[in-house]
Structure 1
């Protein structure tokens, strides 16, 4: 992912948590906040409750890759934060990808016809 497509600063995370809308399923929680640009920015949060660093980094890689592969199917102009739930530690790529589609469909971010 490009540098401008990432959310990294704590103040940006806190802004999106406080002003954004949240949607969830059993694997992921997503916070959505409209930004004023023509790109989507992605942030990922995986708590230490999920597991040790190997597990947390694997979950982050899976979420990042599932988002990257499908990013042309999402509407642009949003800041999106994915928060992993404990079930994500035992999930594979396809389950995480399905969960991303599920929560973004609830949020209304999917493009028409998908």
Structure 2
């Protein structure tokens, strides 16, 4: 699927390529994997484990992460694939905490303009 400013990763093999790169950082709520993709687009993959909650909770968290990414795309550089994994502690958090956690990880990766 293609949003205005980024594409989404859908296939398991795409996620595996990024996980194998082992360039990850984490905070209390999220884990972020980053890999250069050699193109002029950014791609986002979101992963929420069944350990986090039922399908309603998992889909809500995935939507929050995607929305935080979408609203910050002007600050996120092109040419990278991003996989964001939600941790169980994110379950009780809202949009603001999700966005702050994501920006924190982007800054740790030195990828937030």
Q: TM-score by structure 1 length? A: 0.93
- Distance in 1 (CA, whole Å) between partners of 2:38 and 2:81 is 10
Equivalent residue in structure 1 for 2:42, among 40, 43, 63: 40
Match of 2:85 in 1: 83
- Distance in 2 (CA, whole Å) between partners of 1:53 and 1:76 is 31
Match of 1:59 in 2: 61
List per-residue Cα deviations over 1:12-41 (Å, max 9, x = no partner).
Answer: 101100114001100000000000111110
List per-residue Cα deviations over 1:51-104 (Å, max 9, x = no partner).
Answer: 000000000000000100111111111000000000111110000000000001
- Distance in 1 (CA, whole Å) between partners of 2:22 and 2:50 is 23
- Distance in 2 (CA, whole Å) between partners of 1:9 and 1:56 is 18
- Distance in 2 (CA, whole Å) between partners of 1:24 and 1:106 is 9
Match of 2:31 in 1: 29
- Distance in 2 (CA, whole Å) between partners of 1:39 and 1:105 is 19
- Distance in 2 (CA, whole Å) between partners of 1:73 and 1:37 is 17
SS in 2 for 1:31: strand
The runs of at least 4 aligned residues of structure 1 exceeding 3 Å deviation read none
Match of 2:20 in 1: 18
SS in 2 for 1:81: strand
Q: TM-score by structure 2 length? A: 0.94
Give unmatched runs, 5+ long, in structure 1.
Answer: none
